[in-house]
Structure 1
Amino acid sequence: MKKRYSAILLIIILLLMASGLSANKKNAFTITSITFEGNSVYKSRTLQEVMVTTASKFLSPAYYYPEVFIEDLKNLALFYQQNGYLQAKINDYSIERNEEKKQLSISIQIFEGEPTYIEGISVFGNSVFPDSTLMKKIGLYKGHLLQQKKVQDATYTLLTLYANAGFLDTEVVPGIKINDELHRALVDFRITENEQFSIRNIIIRGLEITKKKIIMRDLTFKSGEIVNYSKLLASQRALYLTGLFESIFIRPVAIDSLSSEKDILIEIKEKVPGEFNIGVGYGSIDKARIFAELLYSDLWGTAQKVGLSGKLSYITRKIEVSYTEPWTFGVKLKTDVNIFATYNEEPGYDVSEYGGKVIVGKSLSKYSSASIAYRYERVHFSHVKVQEFPDKYSSNLNSLILSAIHDNRDNIFNTTSGHVLSLDSEIATSYEKTTNVFGRLVLHGKYYAPITHTTIIALSLEAGGLTLFGNSTNIPLNERFYTGGPHSLRGFSYRKVGPLDNKGLPIGGRYKLVNNIEIRRTIYKALGGVIFFDFGNVWNYMKDIKKEPMRSCPGIGLRFATPLGIVRCDYGFNWFPKNGEPSGKLYFSLGQTF
């Protein structure tokens, strides 16, 4: 009990200490509030987001800097003017100071004025594209507010349209005529189309290891085509995604002033293909652990990758050999082959697995992909303490897996916005004394969104089901669903939520539902805080859901960003503990929970 309260107290003290670290000037005033008067078009929250100066919040004091505040006032007026309120201005502002407490409050008076609307839109100088095509692309409409950003976006859209048709030297000049009395505006775009260019030669510079054909297969353009600027950018992105290059620049270069052709120059700087990584860490489940990896990412200059990795911890030993071919048989299908040997000590049993997995996948779009996989494993269970199972036994497993994923996260290691949605469907055959055939379906979703510039909300959902086919009676222990611990329900012991035997050991289940909600907030530089709520359970049968409802646990935690990744400490409260369960758990680990 003392350990539990000590852990909670430690986290709270660190959070409070961190909130005071930002006070780098003793004489600086903290801002208690910022209010706006005269605003009806935009809410105060929207206007606050325009400003750098903010009001203090819990564990996050904000300080007043006069020079920054003056720039904020200019930006507020500019924000209105760029969104159609050309007469908007800051009428006045007032600051009330409390010298004793070193606090102040700010009040800003705004004059919004009348909005200016678009009266008409015109294009001049075009012959390649008709007016109707250009007007659709422009995206400005009569009667809409005059917004400077939309005019700029329309200019860029027209330039891109022409550049994708080979007119690389096209000029687009927007013009705006404003009637201040009527608050109306005429917008026109004057276009100088100039000459259309086609591709003569593709020139590649900087290759030392990678073969030229590896570059050429990822290009979406070829000699003789009309230059398409979007294809140049898409090709540049595709080459970056191979992971072979430090830098890539693709650009058209002139042959001479009279030619209607251009060469496409690809300038490349290759990465060193060999790589050795080693790391150490600590987690509440693994305890001390060490990881080592040897990679070579450009085998024989063909972009094929080979690797050898190993992991050693208190409960796990693993060694793995991997091979990746990004273009299988000359088709853009990625093939991964993994051969592995692992040993894990789990609650209730130890398991050794030897086998391999082959995955063939294809990118469907910028954010989506699908794959099919086959895995084969020889599995040996030892020190089995779970009831109704022998102390030692072995099984072979074959399975076929179909997967699909959509992932548009901004950063896979420390996400601040975006979402992931994945679906895995598997059919497996397990050979023990008898043959068992079972299927697995798992849906996993994650969602991240910023609430403020220092706070994000993160949501995770995992739902899965297992089913037996024919006369099958058993699903191997290591293939069942488990939950509880640092990556699922953090108020409970590892794998201790769900079906247990008479000894209190987890036996796993056939249905799983786990939800996680986190509010993540940056406190000071590399230090962050988290408030979370986890709920879910594992069941053997659907009818058990009524008997064993979902378990839940709120909690708090700390995050510390290091050059090697996120270090996290979480304390989850088990607010309705059953007999033998702890009233909470403290976990240390690396990386975000999800």
Structure 2
Amino acid sequence: MVAYSLRLLALLLLLGAGEGRIRRIRFKGNHHFSNSRLSNILYTSRNELYSPPMVVADSAELVRFYRNQGFPRVEVEPRYLASRNKLIYHIKEGDRLKIKSIRIIGASASDENAILAKIPLKKKSPFTLFGQQETERIIKRYYKDRSYPYVVVNMDTTTQGTEIELTLSVVPGKRAWISSISFSGVAPSEVNPDFLLRTTRLKAGERYSAARLDRASRLLYSTSLFSRVRMNLLTVSSGREDSLDVVFQLTPTKTHAVLVGGGVQTAENEFIPDRLLLSLGWEHLNIFHRGVTLSSEVTLSPTFRGDYETGFEIRNRYPNILPWGLALALSPYWKHRLNRDTINIFTHTLGGEAGIEKDFSDKLRVGLSAQAKQVWQIPKNLPFDETGSTNFLRFSLIYDSRDDFFNPKSGVFFSPYADWAGRPFGGDNDFVRLNAEFRNYLALPFDAVLAWRLRGGLIAPHSGMRYEDISLFEKFTLGGSGTVRALSDRALGPDSILVNFRPNPPDPVTGEVDTTWFFDHYGTLLLLYSFELRTPYMFNNLIGFAFFMDVGMCARDGDNIRDEDRAWGPGAGIRINTPIGPVRIDYAKNALTPYSWEPREIGRIELGFLQAF
């Protein structure tokens, strides 16, 4: 027993000293692929015990990798230097096979030219396994999109030294038509079958097309009525191969919800929150069992001084109610603001929008709408009046390929719009307004994400109106949540309006009374750029971090840009992952003002719901 214990102790000491462990892994003779790429193929890693069977398996993986990349005569010889704890893979790559010619049999001349332009295998390109697989997939998809569901593709090769003569044989098979379209997993009493059929944009009797069927699946999923959409193709009961039954298997999801949001924010260079951000909403995605959406939202944003802003908005959308797959969208709203001090100033905004929309895919929506807005104040005839009406026509586009709404890691969001206000639609404002926002999300190593956003806007008067005559509530503004986070709300812009004032205590010597004035700022030229580096969620997928920079400008025009019309500020924040979206806590500092611990120069904190962009 003592002898066994001594042997076990000696073995533990030997392992602890690092004998038999692989300290370094090297490759020699690899000219086409880097060491890091080859290391990712291995099962063995540094600081593991040397295992001959594992090294043999790794050698086989390297051979398989090289052959898939067009090196049929590759040789791999591993060597382990025990004295140096070093593992070396000696690689003899050999010659790489390249394509000398490509010939397609069974395709028309026009189809052959189209296929050759699409496939990754080209003359003089390496003959790789990925290229072979993608070539076969692309050719099959090419014919399936042209009503040939049973297409067969064969690939033959003739090798002459290091060159490959490639022959692609295509057998299209029979063309097919759609005999019927049906839906399973959802009862007609839950979702009207006619609505589902109109959503797919398919018709019984049309030619089979894989592209159209894929688009139909995406359109069904984009209704947000289903958590899963699967499509099956069945031969009709007669057994004819040229007729197919299309069955969509649908998994319903919840169609109504209550939405609650909240947050706080501080003024610029203040750490103590001065404003609450509250919202309460309700939505239903399947009114009348036809995918009609109805949602409403109430917002309230009070300050601790007694001021507040509140609003109420209703959004109603009727999909596929008009010809050509057009949807009808309606959205009335009301906003109310109180500035409380020496006098109480009430500002009311009443408006609405009615328009048509068309979904060209699950990612692209185009709209045309008419909007009207009326703003008035109580008491009337103030010297700093903010009243008027605007009627305008808007053309808008939304393209959204983000992989996730709450925490996107890849994809693009693009949303431009153009407005024509005033004549011949009436109202107090005559202008053209252009605005566009582009967001991009890039996945980085270690599950980090780089998100960046660029927004630009321009307002130009027409029909004799001057810049200064355009109502301020139609102009751009920057500062606050979702824009330049280092600034207070509506802090940038050459045009300003007095929103509050407060007389200070009389001077004890002179008796003079000084007044503090509070302004909102606006402009007709806008530029905003932000980027944000987001870490993955850690600590049981709960906490994440963000580091960001916001740069903004709001001016009159390109020839009149003042220093005070620009601002930029770095910042950092915490993201708390919740089932209903991330909670965001951000700190940012205006870089154009000096940093110190003085209360007026310390920065700004903001707590909100969802990502800033």
Give the whole-Å Cα distance in 2 for the aligned partners of 1:233 and 1:486: 39
Query: Are 2:177 and 1:198 aligned?
Result: yes
Match of residue 587 from structure 1: 606
Which deviates further from its counterpart, 493-502 or 301-310?
493-502
Alignment of 1:157-306 (within 5 A): 157-176=138-157, 182-205=161-184, 206-209=186-189, 210-255=191-236, 259-269=240-250, 271=252, 274-284=255-265, 288-306=276-294
Query: Are 2:397 and 1:397 aligned?
Result: no
CA contact (8 A) 2:537 2:577 kept: no
Aligned alpha-carbon RMSD (Å): 4.4
Cα 1:269–1:404 change in 2 (3 A) is closer
Q: CA deviation at 1:534?
A: 1.8
- Matching residue within 472, 480, 483 for 1:488: 483
Compute the TM-score of the two structures, normalised by the length of structure 2.
Answer: 0.75
Cα 1:50–1:504 change in 2 (3 A) is farther
Match of residue 555 from structure 2: 539
Q: List per-residue Cα deviations over 1:144-195 (Å, max 9, x = no partner).
A: 101111111111123223333444333334345656xx33334444555544
Q: CA deviation at 1:116?
A: 1.7
Give the whole-Å Cα distance in 1 for the aligned partners of 2:493 and 2:88: 55
Cα 1:97–1:582 change in 2 (3 A) is farther
Give SS of 2:535's match: strand
Alignment of 1:35-50 (within 5 A): 38-43=29-34
Give SS of 1:545's match: coil
Q: List per-residue Cα deviations over 1:123-142 (Å, max 9, x = no partner).
A: 55679997666555545233
Cα 1:109–1:330 change in 2 (3 A) is same
Q: CA deviation at 1:389?
A: 5.4
- Matching residue within 528, 549, 556 for 1:514: 528
Query: Are 2:347 and 1:351 aligned?
Result: yes
Q: List per-residue Cα deviations over 1:301-347 (Å, max 9, x = no partner).
A: 33322233333443443322222111243332222101222234689
Bigger Rg, structure 1 or 2: 2
Q: CA deviation at 1:53?
A: 9.7
CA contact (8 A) 1:138 1:154 kept: yes
Match of residue 10 from structure 1: none
Q: List per-residue Cα deviations over 1:262-304 (Å, max 9, x = no partner).
A: 3413244463675131324323269555543333333333332
Give the whole-Å Cα distance in 2 for the aligned partners of 1:53 and 1:389: 78
CA contact (8 A) 1:458 1:519 kept: yes
Amino acid at match of 2:583: V
Cα 1:589–1:150 change in 2 (3 A) is same
Amino acid at match of 1:545: I
Alignment of 1:87-166 (within 5 A): 87-88=73-74, 92=78, 112-123=93-104, 135=116, 138-166=119-147
Give the whole-Å Cα distance in 1 for the aligned partners of 2:349 and 2:49: 61
Cα 1:520–1:273 change in 2 (3 A) is closer
- Matching residue within 452, 456, 460 for 1:467: 460
Q: List per-residue Cα deviations over 1:567-594 (Å, max 9, x = no partner).
A: 2222223333179952422222222221
Amino acid at match of 1:395: G
Cα 1:190–1:394 change in 2 (3 A) is closer
Gaps of 5+ in 1: 1-26, 56-62, 99-103
CA contact (8 A) 1:567 1:590 kept: yes
- Matching residue within 462, 466, 477 for 2:472: 477
Q: CA deviation at 1:467?
A: 3.1
Give SS of 2:179's match: strand
- Matching residue within 401, 409, 419 for 2:412: 419
Which deviates further from its counterpart, 122-131 or 557-566?
122-131
Give SS of 2:122's match: coil
Cα 1:118–1:254 change in 2 (3 A) is same
Give SS of 1:238's match: helix
Give the whole-Å Cα distance in 1 for the aligned partners of 2:612 and 2:41: 32
CA contact (8 A) 2:198 2:320 kept: no
CA contact (8 A) 2:486 2:589 kept: yes
Amino acid at match of 1:202: I
CA contact (8 A) 1:458 1:517 kept: yes
Cα 1:34–1:328 change in 2 (3 A) is farther
Give the whole-Å Cα distance in 1 for the aligned partners of 2:357 and 2:436: 18
Match of residue 4 from structure 1: none
Give SS of 1:459's match: strand
Compute the TM-score of the two structures, normalised by the length of structure 1.
Answer: 0.77
Cα 1:90–1:429 change in 2 (3 A) is farther
Q: CA deviation at 1:248?
A: 3.5
- Matching residue within 342, 366, 371 for 1:370: 366
Alignment of 1:420-459 (within 5 A): 420-429=413-422, 435-459=428-452
Q: CA deviation at 1:422?
A: 2.9
Gaps of 5+ in 2: 1-15, 267-273, 303-307, 499-515
Give SS of 2:153's match: strand
Give SS of 1:544's match: coil
- Name the % identity: 20
